[in-house]
Amino acid sequence: QSALTQPASVSGSPGQSITISCTGTSSDIGSYNFVSWYQQFPGKAPALMIYEGSKRPSGVSNRFSGSKSGNTASLTISGLQAEDEADYYCCSYGGIINTWVFGGGTKLTVL
Amino acid sequence: QMPLQESGPGLVKPSETLSLTCTVSGGSISSSTYYWGWIRQPPGKGLEWIGSIFYSGKTYFNPSLKSRVTISVDTAKNLFSLNLRSVTAADTAFYYCARLTYSSKDIDYWGQGTLVTVSS
């Protein structure tokens, strides 16, 4: 079970849009619509931002959106705000053997 | 809300067993709607799923940790526990307990996390 692949860092200016990719395999992202995304501020526990690839929990801004194509999932943040500066992690369910795997995390910097 | 609270020693000696408990309040752990799990994060590094348990006691583990991990559930006390054997410095991390949704396989509630340091 290998970690999902995310870019180490992304950056953008306020008001812009950024996309964070998350690449897995045909055993996880490619086979299941169970990709979730988490936002983590320093010293805090992660918080769920996207589940089942593209669904937003209640209370999460509609500036956050998710998608999937093949073995790669993506998180897009539109209308970037300073408060979005955080670490973002993707996670996929691994199916047959009931496992979960995380990406290495992406640090978002708002310039 | 479904508060989750980790408890246990913050310091464990190498080769010993790391033991943590997660107390669930505000709802029953005996629900077929959720798994209960442990995730860890070495300081300054990424998240790693350790394992999960269903209320029935069925467990699922990260293959890389499976030989050293036990997760159990106590439905009477509404808590679940983690044991990680033969620890080394590489096991130093923030340990989070969490609730995983059965239907959508996401982690919708996290404990605040507890730092466990492995050192003599």
Given CB atoms, is B32 within the 8 Å cutoff of chain A? no
**A107 pLDDT more than 70:** yes
| Chain B residues closer than 8 Å to A34 by CB | 104-106
Asked if residue A25 has pLDDT above 80, the reply is: yes
* Interface list for A 14-33 with B (CB within 8 A): 32
Distance from CA of A107 to the nearest CA of B (A): 11
Q: pLDDT at position B26, please?
A: 77
Phi and psi, residue A82, nearest 5°: -55, -35
Unique residue bearing structure tokens 């990709």: A35
Does residue B52 sit at the A interface (CB-CB below 8 Å)?
Answer: yes
Q: Which residue has the higher pLDDT, A62 or A97?
A: A62
In this structure, is the dihedral angle defined by the CA atoms of residues B21, B54, B38 and B104, taken in order, positive or negative?
negative
Sign of torsion over alpha carbons B17, B22, B23, B29? negative
pLDDT at position B39, please?
Answer: 98
pLDDT of A95 reads 76
Mean pLDDT computed over every residue of chain A? 95
Q: Provide DSSP, A4-62.
A: BB--SEEEE-TT--EEEEEE--TTTTTT-S-EEEEEE-TTS--EEEEBTTTB--TTS-T
Cβ–Cβ under 8 Å, residues B18 and B91:
yes
Those residues with Cβ within 8 angstroms of residue A103's Cβ, 6 or more apart along the chain or in another chain = A3, A4, A5, A6, A22, A89, A90, A91, B46
The per-residue pLDDT for B27 is 83
Q: Within 10 Å of residue B20's Cβ, how many Cβ atoms?
A: 21
Each residue's pLDDT tens digit, A77-101: 999 999 999 999 999 998 777 899 9
Nearest Cα residue to B38 out of B114, B120, B119, B117: B114
Determine the pLDDT at residue B2: 61
Residue B1 has pLDDT above 70, yes or no: no
Of A20, A46, A25, A16, nearest in space to A106 by CA: A20
Q: pLDDT tens, B27-74?
A: 889 989 999 999 999 999 999 999 999 988 999 999 999 999 999 999
pLDDT tens sequence across B62-112: 999 999 999 999 999 999 999 999 999 999 999 999 999 999 999 999 999
